[in-house]
Amino acid sequence: MARSISEKTHVDINGVEQGMFIKGTSVDNPLLLFLHGGPGMPEYWMTQFHPIDIYNDFTVVWWEQRGAGLSFDPDIPPKTMTAEQFIEDTLEVTRYLLDRFDQDKLYVMAHSWGSYIGIQAAAKAAKLYHAYIGVGQVTHQIESEMLAYEYAVAYFKDTGDRRMLRRLEAAPPSVSAPLPSSYMSLRDKYMHKAGIGTIRDMRSVITGLFLPSLRSSEYTFMDKVNLWRGKLFSSMDTFGLWDTMLMTDLRVQVPSVDLPVYLLHGRHDFTCAYPLARGYLNELIAPVKGFYTFDSSAHSPIFEEPERTIEVLVVDVLNGQTTLADR
């Protein structure tokens, strides 16, 4: 008889209590570990507003990473807020889940920043995973920022938005980290206005993320406060998580992965630029590779086109094939 699960829990992961939501109609289904973006921006709460019904096919673990959301703690040792530690946390969460649910491997789905740590974890310990699924895959983020900027300049010229065009031309990105503060203060605004940000039809972080997060029914009041405290905490310049990701070229860092790799990418995504992710998969050495273009999506195709996401997971990923992939 199927045994469903719907759980909000905390687990000691490498010395830090870390929270997660675990949901599924049967604990006998394959495990899917989701690695959220940011750094420091959990995404489980978004499923209330952008439902993705994958719980009949997977037991899904929405882990909230060190310092983020349910895992926020201002006393986390700063020296542990490194990309290397997040990769080790990913592997430790994986081992915990495999042991708890008595499975040999699980699927890992990673979004944005999560894809930066996720593909490195998968490459480091491929034997723990059935497959790696990258969503809005990071490739070389500093290069992505340049492509986004070039796209936006052309977009605002075409649309006649002279005010935004002037602001952009006065605040270009740099070719090295840290990016100029003038550019960073404009980044979310221009991306969402151009439809190349988190979600294609989302126009601001305030109306698209902050205000909806306050209406989440599965987070307590303090959970919601900590969601944004954790975002600010994880983005602190002293940790350098963002700058480290900016300057890491994963084409060099992870040229091969010894397991199937599937990339799901919105055609309109320049948060993590679509052309770079497509080129990365072409170069990547892996036993099975599939690239899936989501024509109506920007950076979050799993929330923007959930039906197609489920189809890709059930038809291709679970069967280790690429019948639905781009040709």
Q: Which residues contact 93 (CB under 8 A, 6 or more apart)?
A: 11, 13, 18, 20, 33, 61, 63
Q: Are 320 and 131 in contact (CB under 8 A)?
A: yes
- In the predicted model, what is the mean pLDDT of residues 104-114? 98
Q: What is the mean pLDDT of the chain?
A: 96
Quickly count: other Cβ atoms within 10 Å of residue 78's Cβ: 11
CB half-sphere exposure, 194, CA atoms < 13 A: 29
**DSSP 8-state secondary structure symbol assigned to residue 178:** S
How far is it, in rounded angstroms, from Cα 198 to Cα 298?
6
Cβ(239)–Cβ(83) below 8 Å = no
pLDDT at 1 over 60: no
What pLDDT, on the 0 to 100 scale, is given for residue 305?
98
Angle at 136 (CA atoms; ends 278, 203), nearest 5 degrees: 125
Q: Which percentage of the chain shows pLDDT scores above 70?
A: 99
DSSP bridge pairs for 285? 256
User: Which tens digit of pLDDT belongs to each residue from 270-280?
Assistant: 999 999 999 99
| The model scores a pTM over 0.85 | yes
Over range 242-267, report the average pLDDT: 98
Which burial class, exposed, middle or buried, applies to 90 when counting CB atoms under 10 A from its CB (0-12, 13-18, 19+)? buried
pLDDT at 270: 98
Which pLDDT band, with edges at 50, 70 and 90, does 2 fall under? low
Closest by CA position to 35, among listed 118, 140, 146, 93: 118
Numbered ranges of CATH 3.40.50.1820 in the chain: 5-139+206-317
Determine the pLDDT at residue 112. Answer: 98
Contact 262, 132 (CB under 8 A): yes
Residues 82, 79: Cα–Cα separation, whole Å:
7
Please state the rounded mean pLDDT for residues 96-125.
98
Instruction: Give the count of alpha carbons within 13 A of 312, CB side only.
Output: 27
What residue has token string 């010395």? 15
| Model pLDDT for residues 25-36, shown as the tens digit of each residue | 999 999 999 999
Q: Is the dihedral of CA 78, 79, 85, 89 positive or negative?
A: negative
Confidence of residue 91 (pLDDT cuts 50, 70, 90): very high
Q: Look at the domain 5-139+206-317 and name its fold.
A: Rossmann fold (3.40.50)
Confidence (pLDDT) at 327 = 78
pLDDT at 238: 87
Mean pLDDT of 238-256: 96
Residue 199 has pLDDT above 80, yes or no: yes
